[in-house]
């Protein structure tokens, strides 16, 4: 306090914090592609697609399911499986600790959400990977949950739709995680034997064992615009083959041009596109 504030106390007083205008948290978002500042309510209306550049922002598994299925139609497939640290794996943290942190940060028990819902009034089985849960990696529990979803589709005679975003097999489970590739592929073959369609939707990013099994085994393989899809990463491939790869290598557009996927569909058109394809495929199967 100086001589002036002693004479005039009000000069040194600060305005009450309650009088300050505050911007609520989560009201604005940044587009990672064009760096535009986006108003969150408007971003939600556009299904988390940037209105400035069209970039498809990453969204969680449950949000994706909610915008894809008919409102309030989703019923989750119950699962009693728990992820166990059977190898007592530990890197900088124990596997148990990593699981606890993933559960706490996402609210999910594992990296895959599965259930039955309606698409344009007709039931479908859906599965969606949660990338925030340990990079959407696939271990024993994820593989089992996917197989249960496939079996549900078979039992109910329904099509299956899977939204895949993952870093691949979960290293903390070693060979157990790699076994899931064969297990999930075998389950999908049973679905195919029943002539039930499987729609695989590839979401940015999708790599490793999940891309090599679940994601690429669809009857119709779809990707969102700009999705990064591959097995090994770009840097690993370049260092192995000693070749500079194209700028758009492993992007959805590159894969479509080279016949690796069937179509690229804007997020806002996924519902209608898959609904129409489902109806056509099921009607064709019924006519046989």
The domain ranges of the chain are 26-57, 58-287
- Separation CA 213–CA 169 (nearest Å): 10
- Separation CA 84–CA 219 (nearest Å): 33
Q: Decide: helix, strand or coil at residue 127.
A: strand
Q: Decide: helix, strand or coil at residue 132.
A: coil
Gap between the terminal Cα atoms of the chain: 91
- Separation CA 261–CA 30 (nearest Å): 30
What DSSP element (H or E) covers 120? none
- Separation CA 257–CA 85 (nearest Å): 42
Whether 264 and 253 have beta carbons less than 8 Å apart is answered as: yes
| Mean confidence (pLDDT) of the chain | 91
Hey, what CATH class is 58-287 in?
alpha beta
- Separation CA 250–CA 163 (nearest Å): 18
- pLDDT one-digit tens code per residue, 202-247: 999 999 999 999 999 999 999 999 999 999 988 999 999 998 898 8
Query: Which of 12-21, 26-35, 58-67 is predicted with the least confidence, judged by mean pLDDT?
Result: 12-21
- What pLDDT is stored for residue 3 in this prediction? 58
Cis peptide before 284 (omega within 30 of 0): no
- Separation CA 146–CA 161 (nearest Å): 11
Find tokens 């990079």 and name the residue.
135
Whether 261 and 223 have beta carbons less than 8 Å apart is answered as: yes
- Separation CA 115–CA 271 (nearest Å): 17
Q: Which tokens sit at 213?
A: 């099994």
- pLDDT one-digit tens code per residue, 6-18: 656 555 555 555 5
- Separation CA 70–CA 123 (nearest Å): 10
Q: Indicate the pTM of the whole model.
A: 0.88
Whether 220 and 276 have beta carbons less than 8 Å apart is answered as: no
- What pLDDT is stored for residue 155 in this prediction? 98
pLDDT at 35 > cutoff 60? yes
DSSP annotation of 135: G
Whether 64 and 49 have beta carbons less than 8 Å apart is answered as: no
């Amino acid at each position: 306090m100086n001589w002036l504030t002693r004479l005039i106390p009000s000069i040194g007083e600060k305005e009450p914090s309650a009088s300050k205008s505050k911007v609520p948290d989560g009201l604005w978002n940044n587009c990672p592609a064009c760096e535009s500042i986006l108003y969150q309510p408007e971003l939600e209306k556009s299904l988390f697609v940037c209105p400035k550049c069209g970039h498809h922002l990453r969204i969680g598994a449950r949000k994706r399911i909610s915008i894809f299925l008919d409102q309030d139609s989703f019923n989750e497939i119950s699962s009693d499986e728990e992820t166990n640290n059977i190898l007592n794996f530990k890197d900088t943290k124990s596997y148990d600790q990593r699981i606890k942190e993933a559960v706490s940060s996402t609210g999910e028990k594992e990296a895959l959400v599965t259930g039955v819902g309606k698409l344009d009034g007709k039931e479908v089985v859906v599965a969606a990977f949660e990338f925030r849960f340990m990079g959407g990696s696939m271990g024993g529990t994820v593989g089992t949950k996917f197989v249960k979803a496939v079996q549900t589709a078979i039992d109910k005679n329904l099509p299956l739709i899977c939204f895949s975003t993952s870093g691949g097999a979960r290293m903390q489970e070693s060979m157990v995680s790699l076994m899931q590739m064969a297990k999930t592929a075998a389950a999908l073959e049973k679905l195919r034997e029943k002539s039930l369609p499987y729609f695989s939707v590839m979401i940015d990013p999708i790599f490793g064992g999940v891309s090599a099994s679940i994601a690429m085994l669809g009857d119709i393989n779809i990707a969102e615009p700009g999705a990064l899809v591959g097995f090994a990463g770009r840097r690993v491939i370049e260092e192995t083959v000693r070749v500079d790869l194209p700028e758009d290598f492993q992007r959805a557009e590159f894969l479509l041009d080279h016949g690796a996927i069937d179509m690229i569909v804007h997020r806002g058109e996924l519902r209608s596109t898959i609904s129409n394809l489902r109806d056509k495929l099921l009607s064709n199967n019924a006519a046989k």
